[in-house]
Structure 1
């Protein structure tokens, strides 16, 4: 019985993924053409990943990096068919059972997730409905920059570079905000837990300083509403100047 088209597709995809595919060939198709096609597929995938994770690539050895890419192509089953989602699929792959994380630095997954956040923010759309915020009263609504993403990590990902590669995770969570300013540039701000919580509440829905302080007080009973309002008024002024908080007339 002849194979169905779907069966042939699946077998061909399996052949393309295999690191030994060039040695084995596939069916009756001319090996030279197969090799060209396979190289193009692998090169495109590798290029997308390399461009999306430049810091991660620079900090791993060439052998580690190539091993990750080979395992990703061979093992990962993507949920999205889009090339633009390959970076997200690569981050998902790093959490899979197929990756021997003990062969890599402990910050591997955190750094990859952080770099993907930067890419997502870079290509996010900052709506023209939003305008710079001038804080005038406590009843004025605060809108979190719609491109903003708040990350929680075990390692200080925004500080990792060729001169600083921590060997152990932090004792407390590391919070960082990544967002796009009107000029199109991506910015990041390290946050404390209180500020991260406040921004998370604003990400859920816009609030004024009074509402925000009351919402914070419900989760932080050791602080009064007045204390929280005074503390975040200063933060809000600073964040308005840095385009973290915006106005939406």
Structure 2
């Protein structure tokens, strides 16, 4: 290893964790202080836009401490700035913070909007007039059903629960034609429907499976309640008829 490479590695380790790693010899303390401030401020600029709720909830000191811990402990797997937000969310998924036990899920929830906006997928054909019973429903790659232990859509500076509720929070993220992402709450039945909508069965088969899983009779009353839900999902482009799709996406 060359002397220059040794010098740069020592500088990098110092900037990541100045308390554990001394700076390379010969560098002025004032210059090092500027570098240390710049690297945290740049990280703050890159991440605040994706995680504004976490930023406000933790406050200045808590947010800065979290950024410094991320800088100290995380090793990036990509040089792409847009991917840094996902790495931050992945890091927080395994972050142990008893004071904020919901932090990992809140980070994923905040990242998901950017993730869906950046998703590269074929835009599926809109099939609003699909026969809800005969067509094979397929969840659009631009629609992500998500399940969380914590009510992530409510957490903020004024609401920080310390105990997870008995029932999960079920949400749908759907990217609209103009690129914006819309969030909506899901019932357990609707969440299960979207999870099963893989284009391999007809709408009637799907509803029959839903009724069976819920311990309900697949009768006229069940169909009368479920059919409007299917039609609405097709109308909004959350579901598409399987034959009309040319690509697929993944739920994060």
What secondary structure, in the 3-state scheme, does the structure 2 residue paired with 1:159 have? coil
Structure 1 portions without partners, runs of 5+: none
2:229 matches 1:235: yes
Structure 1 match to 2:115: 120
Change (3 A) 1:162 1:241: farther
Secondary structure of residue in 1 paired with 2:164? coil
- With CA pairs under 8 Å and 6+ residues apart, which has the higher RCO, 1 or 2? 2
Aligned to 1:246: 240
Instruction: Go from structure 1 to structure 2 and tell me whether the alpha carbon gap of 1:13 and 1:213 turns closer, same or farther (over 3 Å shift).
Output: same
2:176 to 162, 175, 181: 181
- How do residues 218-233 of structure 1 correspond to structure 2 at under 5 angstroms? 220=213, 222-226=215-219, 229-233=223-227
Q: Residue by residue, what CA displacement relative to the aligned partner does 1:34-73 show, whole Å, maximum 9, x if unpaired?
A: 5555544333322121111011111222211111111111
Q: 1:208 aligns with which of 202, 206, 214?
A: 202
C-alpha distance in 2 between matches for 1:35 and 1:205: 57
Matches within 5 A, 1:43-192: 43-96=41-94, 99-102=95-98, 104-125=99-120, 127-192=122-187
TM-score, scaled relative to structure 1 = 0.81
Displacement after TM superposition at 1:175 (Å): 0.9
Aligned length: 242
Distance in 1 separating the partners of 2:45 and 2:111:
15
Displacement of 1:137? 4.6
Structure 2 residue runs of 5 or longer lacking an equivalent are: 246-252
What is the aligned partner in structure 1 of residue 17 from structure 2? 18
CA shift in 2, pair 1:139/1:71, >3 Å? same
Distance 1:115 1:137, change over 3 A: closer
- Whether the 8 Å contact between 1:118 and 1:186 is mirrored in structure 2 is yes
Instruction: Rate the CA distance shift 1:177–1:137 in 2: closer, same or farther, 3 A.
Output: closer
Q: Is the alpha carbon distance of 1:44 and 1:208 closer, same or farther for their aligned partners in structure 2, counting shifts above 3 Å?
A: farther
Q: TM-score, normalised by structure 2?
A: 0.80
The 1-side partners of 2:136 and 2:8 are apart by: 54
